[in-house]
């Protein structure tokens, strides 16, 4: 169960998964009445470098920079130094021990999230890789290791959030992608396999949820955010 107090306008991080800075800025303007948190991923970053990041921060909002750094430790350290100087709130790295240690040396005030298992992965994908443990066990193992090495938190699906919160406590920051309105079960047509509603994810342990297409493809993005916020408030008031 999630007992943390976080402003409702920072619970939902809107994923700006668009291919140009103009589209990203327009989406921010359409959403900012309801949320103060936005994610810049690899596609947008490649199209705009820090332009959109700086622009969002200058408007008084927070940025999660989701580049999932994975390289030799010294390269990751230098990259994190670059991010730390820009006022970004959250950045993602892969959970390799050496990468985490290097990133921690350079993070400054930046909070670092270790990627556990991508939400596009399911049990069958792990079996195909020759791994015998469950997704939940692998996520917990990687999260425990990341926390021990000093990471602020992890990226994990809502399906693992409850166990992470129970086993690792409130110190861990949990950010959950794979959020879909009205469903806790994938219908098999989505590229995200481990999905959950915003309310259920927050109520069971996530601190923030990352939401892309359900918001950015909607006719009324701010309206969708508001509905999700109401879902979060209701779920936290009446946890299962």
Catalytic residues: 68
Q: How far is CA 69 from CA 66, 76, 86, 96, in A?
A: 8, 6, 16, 10
Q: Per DSSP, what are the bridge partners of residue 211?
A: 14
- State residue 93 phi and psi, 5-degree precision: -135, 160
Q: Do residues 183 and 197 lie in contact, with contact meaning Cβ atoms separated by under 8 Å?
A: yes
DSSP 90-119: EEEEE--HHHHHHHHHH-TT-EEEEE-S-T
The continuous run of DSSP H or E covering 10 comes out as: none
* Axis crossing angle, helix 158-168 with helix 135-148, rounded to the nearest 10: 50
């Amino acid at each position: 169960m999630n007992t943390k107090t976080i402003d409702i306008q920072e619970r939902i991080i809107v994923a700006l998964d668009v291919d140009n800075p103009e589209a990203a800025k327009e989406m921010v303007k359409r959403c900012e009445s309801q949320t103060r948190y936005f994610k810049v991923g690899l596609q947008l970053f490649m199209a705009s470098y820090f332009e959109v990041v700086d622009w969002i921060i200058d408007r008084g909002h927070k940025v999660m920079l989701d580049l999932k750094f994975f390289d030799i430790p010294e390269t990751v350290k230098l990259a994190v130094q670059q991010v730390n100087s820009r006022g970004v709130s959250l950045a993602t790295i892969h959970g390799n021990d050496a990468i985490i240690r290097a990133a921690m040396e350079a993070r400054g005030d930046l909070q670092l999230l270790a990627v556990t298992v991508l939400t596009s992965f399911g049990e069958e994908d792990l079996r195909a890789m020759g791994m015998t443990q469950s997704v939940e066990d692998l996520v917990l193992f990687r999260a425990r290791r990341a926390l021990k090495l000093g990471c602020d938190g992890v990226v994990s699906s809502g399906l693992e959030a409850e166990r992470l919160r129970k086993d690792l406590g409130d110190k861990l920051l949990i950010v959950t992608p794979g959020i879909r309105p009205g469903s806790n079960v994938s219908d098999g047509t989505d590229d995200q396999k481990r999905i959950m509603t915003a309310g259920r994810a927050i109520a069971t342990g996530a601190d923030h949820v990352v939401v892309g297409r359900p918001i950015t493809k909607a006719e009324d993005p701010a309206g969708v955010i508001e509905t999700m916020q109401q879902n979060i408030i209701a779920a936290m008031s009446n946890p299962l």
